[in-house]
Amino acid sequence: MLLARILKYLNGTLFLDDGYRFCVFFIKNYVGFYKLTLSQVSEQSGISEEAILEFLTHLGFYRFDDFQTRLYQDVILRMDQIRARMIGIDLQELVDRVHLENDGILDMIKGICHDIHQSKRVILVGALYPMSISVELQTDLITFGKEVIQYHSYDNELTFEEGDYVIFISATGRAMENFLYQKQHLSLDNPQSLLITQNQTYEKRMITKKTLRVPGKFDSINFNYQIMTIFDLIRVIYYQTYQQI
């Protein structure tokens, strides 16, 4: 799938260059990207046609039209795959599997889905492994038409804006606090924000606008299973609420 390959590049590259900028533009415009011409992409993204075509050669495409044809096929195929996967999913079974149950956990996740739906862009912030786990969620939400990116420290062009939904994933909360200390120019005043953590401290000392605390005492292995399940719940509930016809 083209989306998976572009996300692999976007989430893994270490350089703020035209390839990175093209991928960001692609994610932002994914659903209707196949309708754009090369000149339109160049004009709207500010990237030269030569740079776009050079990047596409790394994906095995030497003509822009070939890339667009493959993308159109992928968009249809991906939605069919998502529909097939969502059939017969038991939400409570997912919750019970990793002992996530607390008062109103599913209602909280429905609220997160609402916030995602209302946002213009979702920005995921966390360590390498949680970000790796989040890729399936990222892929599905992009397929649904939502711009979802992972934060990269070298991207000095990125700012948190009104309409953004910033999601921090940190078992202890230290990663979030270190991030905000080092990136003081990135204010959480304007965007919506969420922390997913095991640290009950942040239920009282609110740094983000919302906190989803899961059971545990900073057990990274268990936390990884928990966030994987939370991401699955978000994918399923979001699809059932906002995508399913």
Identify the pLDDT of residue 100.
75
What was the pLDDT predicted at 199?
A: 92
| Chain segment 114-142, per-residue pLDDT in tens | 999 999 999 999 988 899 999 999 999 99
What three-state secondary structure class fits 48? coil
Return phi, psi of residue 217, to 5°. -120, 70
Q: What is the pLDDT along the chain (245 residues), one digit of tens a residue?
A: 899 999 999 999 888 999 999 999 999 999 999 999 999 999 999 999 999 999 999 999 999 999 999 999 999 999 898 888 887 788 888 888 777 766 688 899 999 999 999 999 999 999 888 999 999 999 999 999 999 999 988 888 899 999 999 999 999 998 899 999 889 889 999 999 999 999 999 988 999 999 999 888 877 788 999 999 999 999 999 999 998 75
Q: And the tokens for 245?
A: 């016809």
What's the order of all strands across the beta sheet hosting 121-126?
147-150, 121-126, 164-169, 192-197, 210-213
pLDDT on residue 94: 82
The secondary element (H helix, E strand) that includes residue 14 is: none
**pLDDT at site 102:** 62
What is this structure's pTM? Answer: 0.92
What is the Cα–Cα distance from 217 to 219, expressed in whole angstroms? 6
* 190 DSSP assignment: S
d(Cα 199, Cα 65) in Å, to the nearest integer? 50
CA-to-CA separations, 25 to 4, 10, 32, 192, in angstroms, rounded: 15, 11, 12, 22
Buried b / exposed e across 78-117, counting CB within 10 Å, b at 16+?
Answer: beeebeeeeeeeeeeebbeebebeeeebeebbbebbebbe
